[in-house]
Amino acid sequence: MPEQFSADFSEEEAVLGRDLKDLEQYGSKGTAYLGKVVLSSGEKPVLGRKVVVDLAKPHLMLICGKRGAGKSHSLTVLMEEMARLDPSVKMRISAIAIDTVGIFWGLKIPRKDTAELEGWDLVPEKTDARVYVPKGQLAFYQEKNMPVDGAFTLKCSELEETEWMALFKLKWTDPEGVLISRVVQRVREKIGTYYGIDDLISAAKSDDEAQSVAKQAVVNRFQVAKSWGLIEKEGTKILDLAAPGIITLIDVSSYRQTLGTEGIKDIVVALIGKKLFEQRMLFRKEEEIKLIQENRRSSKMPLVWLLIDEAHMFMPRDESSIALNILLEWVRVGRQPGLGLILATQRPERIHPDAISQCDIFISHRMTSQPDIAAVGALRPSYLHMDFDKLFAEMPRQQGFALVIDDNTEKTWMIKTRPRLSWDSSVTATAFII
Ligand SMILES: Nc1ncnc2c1ncn2[C@@H]1O[C@H](COP(=O)(O)OP(=O)(O)O)[C@@H](O)[C@H]1O
Ligand SMILES: [Mg+2]
């Protein structure tokens, strides 16, 4: 065992993400059981004390690792743990996970095999989570008997001109961009906030300044957007998504294959992120006033955890993304109003550097690509006395092992994440026909 690891043979749980004061006050209440400390070298190392991670306060967690190393698994374990928190803490927390691959629904089904769990004194269990799919895709999921709980829509009036343009990959200087911007402004002035894509189409058609080619192009684009079944007059209420004690899985995977729909996932994350941010800022103020007046902390809106797999898609380093700016706000100032972010990526080299430099809990499964290892090198805290290269080289090659760096306790650990309790829907794409 390399010396800089905080491994010892203590039986007590190691609590990550908590300062000494919180540790004394709360112990390990409100934490997630992530895994166990690795105590020896080799492919089948001896495992020691439990490692638990604070969920009761917002953190920026970054989960890295090459493909198949266990990132989505770690996200799943964290969600399983959120659902199992002590009710007093659980009811103050809500979680929204953006599912780009369509795998998190497996959480709702207990796993079938027990052997792996037995070694950890765990048993298969399902996790209470709600799966939401875009309204236009609901019938497809229901036909396939996927465990879906409902549909979600984005509120048309919440898309700003810039977002429409980004969605259609248009620039301010394009005639279509100019028209879209004018159309959105005019409809907003005329109707207010309760309008749909049809209203935008009519406004584009009756525009008296644009040329007919531009008009037709814009109408076509709006019609395509309508066919997504995602953007409507009435949007899903964000407070319904961020409900206390509830885990909501937003499945945007159905837009994966269709050409020209890359921006859709982005707009979903951007609008959810933006709404949560705005709401949470308001609630935070309300909470503070209550605290001053009544000396108690209470608010309808809980702390929010947003979990994003394949996060480099939403927060790219050198490309533009509709969601980037709002996610950067989460990263930079989100913790103050109670917004926690858990990002997973196999390409740290491609993710915005702030997502790396601002993270306070870093969980990295094995990485082999030099540029990716170099990118997380920016983290290198003073209490880590070893190169990342060497650490990854020493990490067992099996899935689930991870290096954890916790800025709160200034400790580093080599861990093995615990097996999941729920069905692993990433293994087989046809798992839902069971
Ligand atoms: N700690 C673990 N114990 C057992 N199996 C694991 C563990 N971590 C990951 N796996 C398995 O490894 C496979 C790949 O993991 P996954 O999380 O999908 O990788 P990634 O998201 O990094 O590409 C999955 O089948 C997963 O269940
Ligand atoms: Mg994955």
pLDDT in tens, 29-39: 999 999 999 99
pLDDT at residue 434, rounded to an integer: 39
Average pLDDT over residues 195-205: 98
pLDDT at residue 383, rounded to an integer: 80
pLDDT at residue 431, rounded to an integer: 40
Query: pLDDT tens, 336-391?
Result: 889 999 999 999 999 999 999 999 999 999 999 999 999 998 887 888 878 899 99
Average pLDDT of the chain to the nearest whole number: 91
> Residues with Cβ within 5 Å of ion ligand 2?
71-72
Taking the C-alpha atoms of residue 379 and residue 401, their distance in angstroms, rounded to an integer, is: 19
pLDDT at residue 256, rounded to an integer: 64
What pTM value is reported for the model?
0.93
Answer whether residue 299 shows pLDDT above 80: no
73 lines ligand 1 (CB under 6 A): yes
Average pLDDT over residues 241-252: 93
Query: pLDDT tens, 400-421?
Result: 999 999 999 999 999 999 999 9
422 lines ligand 1 (CB under 6 A): no
Ligand nearest, relative to CA of residue 416: 1
Ligand 1 pocket: which of 62, 73, 307, 422 to mutate (most atoms <8 Å of CB)? 73
Q: What's the 173 CA to ligand 1 centre distance in angstroms?
A: 46
